[in-house]
A and B are shown apart, each in its own frame.
Chain A
Amino acid sequence: MRILLGLLLLTQPLMSFGNAIQTHEYKLENDLTLIVRPDHRAPIATVQVWYKVGSSYETNGNTGLSHFLEHMMFKGTPDHPGTTFTDTIYAIGGDLNAFAAFDYTGYYEILPTEYLDTALALEADRMQNLIMTDPDIFEKEKQVVLEERRMRITDQPISLLYERYLATAFNSSPYRVLPIGWHDDIAATTLHDIKYWYDTWYAPNNATVIIIGDVQPDDVLQKVKHYFEPIARKSLPTLKPQHEIKPLGQKRVTVRVPATLPYLLMGFHTPVLKNTPVLWEPAALTLLSGILDGGESARLSKNLIRGSRIANVASVDYDPYFRDQNLLTLSGVPAEGVSMERFEAALLAQIDLLKTELITPEELERARKQFMASEIYKLDSIDAQAYEIGSLESVGLSWEVSNEFLQEILLVTPEQVQQVAKKYLLPELMTVAILEPLALYPEQNNAEPTAPTVIENKALPTNNPETHAAQPTPLAP
């Protein structure tokens, strides 16, 4: 181990992707962060503006504000009224869109490099001058957001399950609500709410501008200064911590909706890179996920899908790039004829195995190799690179943390994988969510026809007092 460490120190400069691919970071006078990474493979560039605000900044009764605001950001400014923004980007051969997530909201244009100025001017403009006065435009957009919620959540059984799963797994943490928010909260949102959200969080000192593409850093810096430095910084509110309370027992929730496939989600509260004194734990959890689900040769495929044929689908999801403690989630579909109980037990047995037996060096090496290869493959996509930088910066870590994380990945031992399994993957504290399909066409079972608006109401309370998602959510209009 000591030899390996020595080797790492010697090659420290090489370890830095920043050095390797020339990432430049700047701070403007108004505290706007600018990150530029030249990539001269094609005469295009992506311009991304990330704001440190997302659904985890919202409070009960005001969920979905960040996402709703994201929609309103396309409604124009005095200088670029109506759909001018979209039309302008379109007419210069660019593409644009935006996204809202738990911890951030982002906007991007990807366009021929020669038009970089156009995108910067537009983004700087809507950072400060968004028009939010027309109630008609606001009400129409509210209908659009509600349609989006129907399409993404209400009419998708697995999404509905996921929504109730989060609401059960988290009590005090705002991660309990999906970024789109609850139906009632969206419906009750006022123009004033959105304006307040914009005025509070959209400021240069709360934003990261990321530019990757066929550009020269000095040139980009001058341009960004020109457009963004005149924007005044704001005094930002101090975010309340809202950490998740310590789980004191197992929690379970059942979702019964018209569907054709049973589905299971099983979650364990786990640390992320932010707020952890020990970087190796997220690294060990990342490799643990790879051991279980890093491909077709990983344990869940090998043992549960092919070996015992208990599962038709089995996967693991763990993302260390959150602002606060999150979940490592196992999920899947039992094989035909296998009960949910047996499927759940088989997943737990795989977790147990991680605690009782050390993983083999070959498995660890394979997981590590896949991680390293995917880091290289990531360089083929400027979107993927920008996304990594933006998400790290937006959760309050430096983009350079990805390099440190890489080093941690190289050093993780089988013992450490065992340690995090023992410490965090505790069945007595987990959350389990199960989708129990109801017939899509109940008439065929001589039951009452399902009315369209009943769908969200079908998640019946279970008898388990731990269940938090038992309250039926509002009906869709």
Chain B
Amino acid sequence: MIKRRNPISRNIWWLLAIVIVLGVTSNYYFMKRMPEKTAQTPSHETSTPASPVGPVLDIQTWKTTRGLDTFYLPIETLPIVDIQLVFSAGSVYDGANPGVAQLTNQIIAKNTSQLTTDAITERFESLGAQLGSSVTRDAAGMSLRTLSFDDERSQSIALLSEVLRDIAFSETTFSLEKQQLLTQLAAKAQSPQAQSLKTFYTKIYGAHPYASPVTGTLESVNAINLAQVREFYYRYYNLNNAKLIIVGDVTREEAQQMAEQFDAALNPGEIPAPLPVVELPAASIVEHVQFPSTQKHILIGLPTMEKGNPDFFAFYLGNEILGGSGLASQLFQVVREEQGLAYSVSSQLLPLKEKGPFVISLQTRNDASVVALDLVQEHLAHFIEKGPTQDELDKAKQNISGQFLMAFNSNAAITQNIAVLAFYHLPLDYYNHYLEKMNAVTLFDIRRAFNTYVGSQHKVTVTLGMEETQPTPTAPAITQEPLIEPPVYPPQLGNASANANPLEVSAPEIIPVEPPVNPPQLDAVTPAPQHAQ
């Protein structure tokens, strides 16, 4: 039995630590002010001119002894350390076994040659540590949030590297996790949002592996065996295919030691071959899915651009104005405020390693869907032709400079953003020049970007709901993935967890006036650690 210190005195020590870190510190903990730009930003009608200042993240990088890419940012204000290990191991590498990336990710940290799942989870949770994991189309990985006190930090890091180094592939765990995944798929099959999105991805990507749902299908998951999972793990969860992110209350020396521990836990290996190029839809597609819902779910979009595309800034700003800025967007105004046709209407842009989607989505009662669809299509055509006004653009730029600060207002958010930067090979100073690039965008740039990536291309329209005239319903669709990508920070207050795990009691107790929208650009590679309580 491990000898335990008096728990009460330990707890008080934590509180004392908070006194120190929060009571005394008064400097911004992660940023230095950038020199004010004067001429770049068109001044807004308010008396205060735009001042595009943003975080200068002093991210340090190095390779470990055997070459693990490490990204480190010290933040001392809270006794917290966040770790992310991200691999090019998303569902795009599923090959003939859709769901294998997801299933592989689920069995990590469940067994070693010495430890059972019970023992591993007990150890993490006794330390107050929170272990998370996630899979997207491009990436898969683990996240760990731990207290930074010596014992908690060193033990939880040691445990995470141990479960990676000594991973065991247990049939029992495998069958359990497969069952969990099948349950998740069944839960998604009753979600109209999930089903419409699944069809949308299938239609916009055709033969490209992005078409396949991250979680696979009932059929494909059922067919996966443990050997395939083991093979996937050893092929993709390797040292050379990983990025390690360490953020929080640790010194550079401690971070280096931690990185070496992960270095020793992973095998060297290959980086996967480049992804196939995405072919744009050869013709416009309109697809209806019959589903017993009182609302019709409408999605319009297509694959557009990859991460790092220089047109991103123009396209992003245009999308903000069109439908990406929540209550303030044009689509919100036209569809909801003026017509009362939907509760949720928005557009999103999600660059991936290869061309990621642009999508407009809304839900409206079945009998209003034709009107709503016409309205949105008309508005989109108008937007592509005319673009926004100078006033709209100025306001959008001003908004983004504020949103940008919020995207870096917590350790969790900063960790997430560094993970995106690391995974997508963006320049280290990417965020330092982010606002500069946004501010350089002109009306012409936006019109050109929307015309290039949306206007001149064939689009896919998916509707899901009840169509009385439809004689034969589509076969039950049984797969899905998370909403376009897990939403990032700042976490929206009042998010009624409707988008979270559909299997939790998603008690719709707290209702925002408007569904949360994604914050600027900085989408997740892996979601933040799941919080236990």
Contacts and interface: CB of A to CB of B under 8 A. Distances in A.
A159 B365 CA distance: 18
A221 to B, nearest CB: 19
Interface string B126-167: 111110000000000000010100000000000000000000
B187 interface: yes
A92 B8 contact: no
Give the interface residue-count category, chain B.
35 or more
Nearest to A155: B293
Interface string B69-87: 0000000011110000000
Nearest to B145: A377
Interface string A194-229: 000000000000000000001000000000000000
Interface stretch (B258-266, B416-424, B495-503): B495-503
A259 interface: yes
B340 A144 contact: yes
B114 interface: no
A100 interface: yes
Given A178-B509, A370-B128, A376-B79, A15 B15 contact: yes
Number of chain A interface residues as a range: 35 or more
B82 to A, nearest CB: 9
A152 B26 contact: no
Nearest to A46: B493
Interface stretch (A241-249, A379-387, A464-472): A379-387
Interface in B96-146: 117-118, 121-122, 124-130, 145
A32 B141 CA distance: 47
Contacts of B23: 20-22
A178 B343 CA distance: 18
Nearest to B11: A372
B510 interface: yes
Contacts of A21: 18, 22-23
B491 A44 contact: no
Contacts of A153: 508
A353 B21 CA distance: 42
Interface in B365-410: 365-366, 395, 398-403, 405-406, 408-410
Interface in A7-49: 7-8, 11, 14-15, 17, 19-22, 39-44
Given A20-B15, A97-B493, A111 B402 contact: yes
Contact of B506 (A8, A159, A306): A159
- Which of B336, B341, B508 has the most chain A CB atoms inside 10 A of its CB? B508
A8 B409 CA distance: 33
Contacts of B130: 373, 377
A424 interface: no
* Residue from A102, A152, A305 whose CB has the most chain B CB atoms within 10 Å: A152
Contact of A140 (B182, B325, B340): B340
Interface string B433-456: 000000000000000000000000
A258 to B, nearest CB: 4
Contacts of B122: 297, 366
Interface string B320-347: 0000011110000100111111111000
Given A93-B402, A112-B405, A410-B8, A150 B365 contact: yes
Contacts of A156: 191, 498, 506, 508
B533 interface: yes
Contacts of B176: 305-306, 309
B509 A102 contact: yes
B293 A306 contact: no
B295 A265 contact: no
B293 A70 contact: no
A398 interface: no
Interface stretch (A231-239, A274-282, A340-348, A448-456): A448-456
B340 A261 contact: no
Given A99-B512, A147-B363, A368 B505 contact: no
A144 B340 CA distance: 5
Contacts of B25: 40
B492 A97 contact: yes
B192 A41 contact: no
B183 interface: yes
A380 B118 contact: no
A95 B518 CA distance: 11
A20 B18 contact: yes
Contacts of A157: 190
Contact of A14 (B15, B80, B326, B504): B15
A393 B68 CA distance: 49
A260 B9 CA distance: 49
Interface stretch (A126-134, A328-336, A413-421): A328-336
A90 B190 CA distance: 36
A93 B190 contact: no
A146 B18 CA distance: 45
A371 interface: yes
Interface string B1-38: 00010011101101110110011011111110000000
A294 B532 contact: yes
Interface in B173-197: 176, 179-180, 182-183, 186-187, 189-192
B503 A90 contact: no
Interface in A71-116: 71, 73-74, 83, 86-87, 90-102, 106, 108, 110-112, 114-115
A293 to B, nearest CB: 9
B77 A315 contact: no
Nearest to B25: A40
A383 B186 contact: no
Contacts of B11: 368, 372, 410
A21 B26 CA distance: 12
Given A368-B7, A372-B128, A261 B402 contact: no
A461 interface: no
A362 B191 CA distance: 40
B210 interface: no
B513 A440 contact: no
A357 interface: no
B513 A99 contact: yes
B460 interface: no
A394 interface: no
Contacts of A112: 401-402, 405
A473 interface: no
A434 interface: no
Contacts of B410: 41, 380-382
Given A92-B402, A99-B511, A295-B121, A379 B325 contact: no
B12 A41 contact: no
A380 B27 contact: no
Query: 5 closest Cβ contacts across the A-B interface?
Result: A93-B402, A373-B128, A99-B494, A140-B340, A143-B340
Interface of B: 4, 7-9, 11-12, 14-16, 18-19, 22-23, 25-31, 44, 46, 48, 53, 77-80, 117-118, 121-122, 124-130, 145, 147, 176, 179-180, 182-183, 186-187, 189-192, 290-295, 325-328, 333, 336-344, 363-366, 395, 398-403, 405-406, 408-412, 465-466, 472-473, 475-476, 478, 490-494, 496, 498, 502-514, 516, 519, 531-533
24 contacts: A20-B23, A67-B511, A86-B328, A90-B399, A91-B398, A93-B402, A95-B406, A100-B511, A101-B511, A106-B493, A112-B402, A150-B293, A156-B498, A158-B506, A162-B507, A162-B508, A261-B183, A331-B505, A333-B503, A380-B410, A383-B490, A452-B465, A476-B365, A477-B365
Given A154-B295, A377-B145, 12 more contacts: A7-B12, A22-B23, A110-B490, A261-B183, A294-B125, A297-B124, A306-B117, A315-B505, A371-B533, A376-B18, A380-B410, A382-B409
Interface of A: 4, 7-8, 11, 14-15, 17, 19-22, 39-44, 67, 70-71, 73-74, 83, 86-87, 90-102, 106, 108, 110-112, 114-115, 139-148, 150-159, 162, 178-180, 214, 258-261, 265, 290, 294-298, 301-302, 305-306, 309, 312-313, 315, 317, 329, 331, 333, 335-336, 362, 365-366, 368-374, 376-377, 379-384, 386-387, 410, 437, 440-441, 443-444, 449-453, 455, 476-477
